[in-house]
Amino acid sequence: MPARLPDDVLYRIKVRLDCGESVAQIHDATKVPLSTLYRLCLNFQVDLFGQAYPPPTVVLGHKRLLLPAQELVIYDICWFRITANVVAAIAQVFRG
């Protein structure tokens, strides 16, 4: 799969398309292949994506290991231990 076009080239293509230039004129000015220009015309003009390239469809990362409810329980347990330790430390400081 070829690399994506730089942002400045995409901007120049978008401006030329908005001005109503033909694909052949844009090809002569930017030296971008015609097939790429036709595909970009579809992506820019048909409001499918609103950008030059479609958004990624692959989910990055891994699935969650815990359910949100389980995360809340763990958070509550950790918070209780932290506050209990702080209270114990404060009580020990003021005892002495």
pTM of the model: 0.53
Q: Phi/psi of residue 6, each to 5°?
A: -65, 155
pLDDT greater than 60 at residue 96? no
Backbone angles phi, psi at 62, to 5 degrees: -120, 165
Q: Per-residue pLDDT tens for 21-69?
A: 999 999 999 999 999 899 888 877 666 666 777 777 777 777 878 888 8
**What is the distance between the alpha carbons of residues 49 and 55, in angstroms, rounded to a whole number?**
7
| Domain ranges for the chain | 1-57, 62-96
